[in-house]
Amino acid sequence: MEVVVVDDGTAAPLDELPEGVHMIFCRENRGIASALNAGVGRAMELGATHVLTLDQDSMIDGDFVPDMRDNWVAAESLGLRPGVMAPDSVGNVVYRGIRRGFFRDVKEVLQSGSMFSLSALDEVGGFDESLVIDGVDTEVCLQLRLRGWDVLTCPLRMEHQLGNAVVIRLAGLMYGMDSLLYHRIESFVNLPGVRQVSGPSQRGLASKKPSTQSPPFDLNIADSAALESVYGIGGVLARRIVQFRDKLGGFVSFEQLREVYHLDSLAIVQLRKRSFIAPNFQPKKIAVNLASVIELGRHPYIKFKLANALVTYRLQHGNFRHPEDLLQVALMKPENLQRLLPYLTLE
C-alpha cells in the first residue's frame, strides 16, 4: 500500500517522509478538486488501480483499508460494478439507498473515506475543479452513475470530526474551526479582516445565561427539545445525538459524545454541565449468542467483518460463555471488547 499526501498550500514541504509515503506540495490552495486530481494522478503513476481518499479530519482505524478492499471484492462478486464505495456511516451521518445484499445503492457519497476505481475516475475525467466542497462530490457521483458505474456504501463506519461551531471569514473565504480550539488561540492571533460570523463564544455564553437555570436532564432519555436548550446545539445536532444514542443503545460515558459527527468540543462541555448519566443506567444489550450478522453489524462499535466473524465462530464452536471468549475471534481486539462490554449479553 502506498500513501500520497497532497499538501495544499502550507509554508514548506516536509524534508523527510516515511517509506511508502509520497508528498505533493502545492504552493497555493487551488481547491479540493485540484488536490484530489493531483493525488489521483500520482496514484496512477504508481500503478494503482484504486484509491481511498481522505481529508485532514478523517479518522480511520488500522482495519479500515483492508475492510474496504474486502467489501469492494465482495461487491464485484455479486455482479455489481462499483465506481466508488463509501462506508455506510460517516460520524453519525448514515446513507440511505436501495439494499443490494450487504451494500446500498445510493445517489451520492462524500469523497472523504470513499474508495474509487481509477478506471472509473479516468472515464469521467476526474474531479471537476470548477466546483467547490460538496459540489465536487455530487458531480463526480452523477458522472459515474451516468456512465453505468455503481455508487455504493458498505457496512463500515468512519469518524469524520473536525468541529463546526466557529466559522470565520478571511479575505472573502469562510473557514470552520472547533470553537474550543478557537478560543484557546484567539488571544494570540491578530489577523486583519477576520471576524467570527457564527458559533458559540465565551461572551455569547455569558450573555445567553437564562434567568432561571433549568434542572439537569438525563442524557439517555432527553428528547431533541431538551438537547436544543444547551448552548451550541441546534436542531441538526440534537437529532444526531438522539440517533447515535439509539444506535448505540445509550451513553455510558460523556466521552462517547465525541463520536457524534460535528459535535463541537464546547457544546460537549456545556452538555456535561446541563445533563447527567444515571448511575444505575443499563444500556440496550445485544444478545451476541442469538443476533444475526446484520443485527450485530448495526451497532456502531461492530463492523460487518467482525459481525460475520463472531457469527461464524459461534456456529463452529458453540455459544460464547464468558466475555473473554470473544477474544478467541481474531478480529476482536481487547480495546474493542472493552468498549463493547456494556452493550453485550451472553444469554
**Is 286-345 the same fold as 166-276?**
yes
Domain boundaries, the chain: 3-160, 166-276, 286-345
Nearest in space to 315 (alpha carbons), one of 288, 336, 334: 288
End-to-end CA distance of the chain: 42
Dump the DSSP string for 93-112: EE---EEETTEEE-S---ST
Topology adopted by domain 166-276: DNA polymerase; domain 1 (1.10.150)
State the pLDDT at residue 162.
47
Ordered per-residue pLDDT tens for the chain, 347 residues: 788 888 876 655 566 777 778 888 777 777 888 889 989 988 988 899 999 998 877 778 778 898 899 999 989 988 999 999 999 887 666 788 888 888 999 999 988 889 999 999 999 889 988 887 778 999 999 999 999 999 999 988 887 654 444 445 554 444 455 555 555 566 666 655 444 444 443 333 333 344 345 789 999 999 999 999 888 788 888 998 999 999 999 999 999 998 887 787 778 888 999 999 999 999 999 999 999 988 898 898 987 889 999 999 999 999 999 999 999 999 999 999 999 999 999 98
- Three-state DSSP class for 176? strand
Which pLDDT belongs to residue 34? 87
Cβ atoms of residues 58 and 135 within 8 Å: no
Per-residue confidence (pLDDT) for residue 59, from 0 to 100: 79
DSSP states along 258-282: GGSTT--HHHHHHHHHHEE--TT--
Q: Which residue has the cell 489577523?
A: 191
Instruction: For 286-345, give the CATH class.
Output: mainly alpha
pLDDT of residue 92: 60
Q: Are strands 93-94 and 82-90 parallel, antiparallel or unpaired?
A: antiparallel
Contact between residue 11 and residue 25 where contact means Cβ atoms under 8 Å apart: no
Which residues are within 8 A (CB) of 124 and not within 5 positions of it... i.e. 6 or more apart?
Answer: 140, 143, 144, 147
> DSSP 3-state assignment of 74?
helix
CATH topology of domain 3-160: Spore Coat Polysaccharide Biosynthesis Protein SpsA; Chain A (3.90.550)
For Cα atoms 226, 58, 194, give the angle at the middle one, nearest 5 degrees.
Answer: 75
